[in-house]
Structure 1
Amino acid sequence: MTDDRKTTVPVWTLATADVRVPGLTAGESMTAERLTELRGVLAVLADEPIVTLEAHPLPAKIDRAKGLPLDAASPLAQHLSQFITQSTRSSLTAARATASGENLYRIVVPAKVAAQLGQGTIRLMEPKGAAGHVFGDIVNTTTGRIAAKASLVPVGGAAAAGTVGGAGATAGAAAAGGTVLTVAAPLVLMAVAVGVSAHADHKRQQAIEHITELLEQLQQDKLDDEHSALNGSRAAIDKATAILLDEGKLGVSLGLDSAVHTIDTALGKADLRLARWQSALDSLPEGEAVELDTLTKSFPGVGDHGGTFRAHLELASLAIALMRRVVILQAVESAQSDSGNPFKNFTRALKRDQQRLDEMESSIATVLVRLSALELASPNGLRPVFTTGEVERLMRAAYRIRRLGDGVTVNNRTTDVAIEIARSKDGSVVVFPALPA
C-alpha cells in the first residue's frame, strides 16, 4: 500500500559501543536526504559502528509471511520494547509516534559496516530504466512500495536498550547533549543477525522454486538427491537459529554438524563445476563465434529453457544461501561467547567466514557475464541452407544465453543496509529480509 502522507517520525542514532562524535542537533526536523548525509558523517567520524533507527506507522497491509517472526519474550523483541519504553519518557515525539504500539521500525546500517557483512549478502537494487540510481524513499519491504514520505526528528538523550547479560553486556545509558550516542549493541546485533538471516532464507526460497521447476523437466535422480539433501538441512538451521536468537547454546543433538557437512559437500561440488566452467570458457578462441553444440558440451542445456547447467547454478545458489545462514549462526555464537563487544565480534566473524561465499558468487557471476557475451556461430555442415527449425533453435539459444547476464553484478557496490521490523501491540515482532537502503 502506498502512503504518500507526510509523516513526522522519530529517528535515533545507536552506537554499538561507548563513543563520542561531533555534536548532533536533537529535536530539529530534517529530510530523508539530510538524514542520509548524517549517516555518512557518523560512519566517517565515529570509531565504532553507528546505525540509525526510525519508527514509522505500520502499513495497513503487510505480508508478515515474508519475514521471520519472534515472540514478545525473544531477546530482540525485549530489547526493542525496553528501548521504546525508555525513549518515550524523554521524547514527546517518540511517545506520540509509538503510542499505538504498532510500528514499522527501520534500522539502517552504514555501508562501511555493511561491507563487513559480506558483499554477496545484500545486493544493491537499481530501478529499471535508471541505471546508477538507487531508491531513496522509505520503502515497505514486503511490497516494494513507498511506505511514507517522512519528516525525521532526531531524538537525543534516550536511554539505551537491552539488559546486561548474554549479548547485551555492553548496553548502557547515553548522556544527553547530542554528543554521546545511545549504546544499544544487543538491539543492533540481534536486528542485523535476524535481518541478514531472513535475507539468506529468502534467497533459499527463490532457489528452491527454480530448482523444483528445473528438476521436473530434467528428471535426473542424482540432481534430485542433491536437492533433497540440501533442502533437508534447513530444519537443523531453523532450530539452531531459534535457539541462538533466544541466547541459548547450540548442542550436538540439533544435527547442525551433519547439516553443515551436507552444505559443505554441495559447495565442494559447486567449486568443482565452477572450475570446469572457467576452464571451458578459457579454452574458447578469443573473439571468435562459438558453435552451440560446442558450448553445450561444457554447459549442458545452456541454450534451452531449463537444462542441467541451470540446475547446477541453482543448486550452487541454494548451498550458498544455506551456508550464509550457518555463518550468521556462527557469528552470533561467537559474539555471545564474548560480551566485551558483541557487535564487533559478530562483524569480524561474518567478514572472515563470508569471504569464501563472496568469492564463489562473484566467480559464478563472472562466468554468466562471459557466457552472455559470446557470439553463436552457424552450425558447420555441407548444406548451404538450414531448415527453419534449425534457425529458430539457434535464435532462441542466442537469446537465452544473452539473458544469462541480466541482473548479474560481478563487483557489487557497497550500500547502506536496511532492516525493517514490524512490531505488534503484544510486543512480538516480524523481521523482514535485509535490503539495500
Structure 2
Amino acid sequence: MTDDRKTTVPVWTLATADVRVPGLTAGESMTAERLTELRGALAVLADEPIVTLEAHPLPEKFDRGRGIPLDAASPLAHHLSQFITQSARTSLTAARATGSGEVLYRMVVPAKVAARFGQGLVCSMAAKGVAGGIRGPLVNSAGGIVGQATFVPVGKAAAAGTVGGAGATAGAAAAGGAALTVAAPLVLMAVAVGVSAHADQKRRQAVEHITELLEQLQEDKLDDERSALDGCRAAIDKATAILLDQGRLGVSLGLDSAVHTIDTALSKVEIRLGRWRSALDGVPEGEAVELGTLTKSFPGVDDQGGRFRAHLELAALAIALKRRVIVLQAVEHAQGDPGNVFENFVRVLKRDQRHLDELESGIAGVLVRLSALELARPNGLLPVFTPGEVDRLMSAAHRIHRLGDGVAVSGRPSDVAIEIARDRDGSVVVFPALAA
C-alpha cells in the first residue's frame, strides 16, 4: 500500500505455534527498512513461521474486484475481528489505527516460509514506469510501498479463543522470550485466500490471452480445451466459498469432474512440453536453425499469435486452476486436523505443488532456450532475398528472442504480502498475494 501521509502504523508479530524469539521492544517506532530487517531476523531465528501484520488507513480508491470478498461471519473475518478487538484493549496505537473500522491490513509472510508455497506461485511484477516498483492492487502511480509510515510494534496482543482447528484462534504464547500472538488459523486463512486470489488472477489473465489468440487462429480443438478448462471455474468458486466458510465439500458441487478435466489438460501440457524439449535437443549446439524447421515443431512461434503461444496460455490456465484446487485440498486437510493446522496446510501444498513447479520450470526453460536460438538464412536457389522475406526473418527473430522476456526463473524467494481490506461491518476483501 502507498500512504503519502505521515502515519503511525501498528505492526504485530504473529506465530503459528508456541515459539521463543529474542525480545522485541514494543512501543518504539521504527522505519520500513528496520521492519524489513526485523522480519528477516524472525525468519532466521524462529523455528516456526513468524509473520507480521500491519494496519494502514484504507485508501479512498482501489479496485475491490480483484480480490475475494468474505462476509463478517466468515472464519477469516471473524478471527481478524477478534484479534483487533483484543489488541485495541491493550494498545492505544492499535485502538487509534483500527477505530474507524475501515482498515487495510497487510500480512507479510517471510521468504523462508513463502518458499514452501511453491516457486512459481508468487513472483514480483514490475510496475510500469516505476524502477523497482511492484504492481499490486493498492499501489498508486508513485509506485512506493508504505513510503512515509512510522511502524510501532504492538506487544503481547493476544487474540481471543483457544488453540484448535481452522475455526479457532489461539492466545499469546507462553512467556520466556518475546510473547508472540499464536494465530495459526488467522495466518492459514489469510494465506489460503490470498493464494487462491492470486491463482484466479492468473486464470483470468490466461483466459483473456487465449481468447485473443483463438479469435485469430479459429481452431475449434483449442477452443474446446479453453472452454472445458474455464468451465471448471464455477465448481472451484463454489468449493472455495464453502471451505472458507468452514463447510464440507459434497459431490453435488462437481469438483471431482472439474479436477479430472484439469488433470487431463495438465497431461496434455506434459506431452507438449516433452515434444518441445525433444525438438530443441535436436538443434545442434551453436548452430543456426532455419525458421521453417523451427515452425514445424513450434507452429506460429514467429507470429504475434500462433498455435504454440495458445498452447502456452492453455498451460498457464491449467496450472492456475490446479493451484486453486491444491489450496482447497490443503484447507480441507488442515480443517480436518485441528491439532496440526499450519503444518498440515504447508505439507499438502508442498507435496502437490512440486509437480506444477516442475512443469512451470520446464516451460520457462523451453522459452529461454528458444529465445537464445539464432535463425539461419533460408536455403534457396536465388542468392538474393526479397524485401518481404528479409522483413519476415527480422520480425520472426525479434519475436523469438523476446520469448525469454519476463520468464520467471528460480531465484531467491521474496517475502509475500497479503492485503486485506476490512469494512465497518466486519466484511473483508482479500487481494491476490504478491511479492512484498
> TM (normalized to structure 2)?
0.95
1:77-116 equivalences under 5 Å are 77-116=77-116
CA change 1:139–1:256 in 2 (3 A) is: closer
- Is 1:141 matched up with 2:138? yes
CA distance in 2, matches of 1:154, 1:2: 20
Q: Give the counterpart letter for 2:428 in structure 1.
A: V
Query: How big is each residue's C-alpha offset from its partner over 1:210-234, in whole Å with a ceiling of 9 and x where there is no partner?
Result: 0000000011110011000000001
CA offset at residue 176 of structure 1? 7.4
Q: Give the counterpart letter for 2:380 in structure 1.
A: G
SS at match of 2:90: coil
CA distance in 2, matches of 1:52, 1:178: 17
8 Å contact kept, 1:420–1:434: yes
CA change 1:39–1:201 in 2 (3 A) is: same
Q: Give the counterpart letter for 1:419 in structure 2.
A: I
1:9-408 equivalences under 5 Å are 9-126=9-126, 135=133, 141=138, 143=140, 145-146=143-144, 148=146, 149-160=148-159, 166-169=165-168, 171-174=170-173, 179-408=178-407
Greater mean deviation of Cα atoms: 146-155 or 99-108: 146-155
Query: How big is each residue's C-alpha offset from its partner over 1:16-44, in whole Å with a ceiling of 9 and x where there is no partner?
Result: 11111111111100011111111111111
CA distance in 2, matches of 1:63, 1:337: 34
8 Å contact kept, 1:415–1:436: yes
CA distance in 1, matches of 2:268, 2:215: 21
Tell me the equivalent position of 1:411: 410
CA offset at residue 172 of structure 1? 2.2
CA offset at residue 413 of structure 1? 2.3
CA offset at residue 249 of structure 1? 1.0
CA offset at residue 285 of structure 1? 1.3
CA change 1:354–1:420 in 2 (3 A) is: same
Query: How big is each residue's C-alpha offset from its partner over 1:219-259, in whole Å with a ceiling of 9 and x where there is no partner?
Result: 11100110000000011100110011011111111111100
CA change 1:428–1:177 in 2 (3 A) is: farther
CA change 1:42–1:135 in 2 (3 A) is: farther
Stretches of structure 1 that go unaligned for 5 or more consecutive residues are none
Identity %: 78
CA distance in 2, matches of 1:128, 1:142: 11
CA distance in 2, matches of 1:162, 1:377: 69
CA change 1:57–1:231 in 2 (3 A) is: same
CA change 1:129–1:432 in 2 (3 A) is: closer
CA change 1:269–1:200 in 2 (3 A) is: same
> How many residues are paired up?
434
CA distance in 2, matches of 1:25, 1:164: 26
Stretches of structure 2 that go unaligned for 5 or more consecutive residues are none
CA distance in 2, matches of 1:183, 1:176: 12
Q: Give the counterpart letter for 2:56 in structure 1.
A: H
Query: How big is each residue's C-alpha offset from its partner over 1:174-231, in whole Å with a ceiling of 9 and x where there is no partner?
Result: 4679712001111100000000000000000000000000000011110011000000
SS at match of 2:404: coil
SS at match of 1:51: strand
CA distance in 1, matches of 2:242, 2:84: 25
Q: Give the counterpart letter for 2:108 in structure 1.
A: V
8 Å contact kept, 2:133–2:144: no
8 Å contact kept, 1:263–1:323: yes
Q: Give the counterpart letter for 1:343 in structure 2.
A: F
CA RMSD of aligned residues (A): 2.0
Query: How big is each residue's C-alpha offset from its partner over 1:53-72, in whole Å with a ceiling of 9 and x where there is no partner?
Result: 00000011011001010111
8 Å contact kept, 1:162–1:186: no
Greater mean deviation of Cα atoms: 178-187 or 326-335: 178-187
CA offset at residue 297 of structure 1? 0.1
CA distance in 2, matches of 1:139, 1:359: 26
Q: Give the counterpart letter for 1:62 in structure 2.
A: F
CA offset at residue 317 of structure 1? 0.2
Q: Give the counterpart letter for 1:400 in structure 2.
A: R
CA offset at residue 45 of structure 1? 1.1
CA change 1:139–1:299 in 2 (3 A) is: closer
CA distance in 2, matches of 1:366, 1:2: 35
Q: Give the counterpart letter for 1:146 in structure 2.
A: G
8 Å contact kept, 2:79–2:168: no
CA change 1:139–1:25 in 2 (3 A) is: farther
8 Å contact kept, 2:165–2:341: no
Q: Give the counterpart letter for 2:10 in structure 1.
A: P
CA distance in 2, matches of 1:384, 1:143: 55
Query: How big is each residue's C-alpha offset from its partner over 1:132-191, in whole Å with a ceiling of 9 and x where there is no partner?
Result: x9559x975365733642110000011125666541446223467971200111110000
> TM (normalized to structure 1)?
0.95
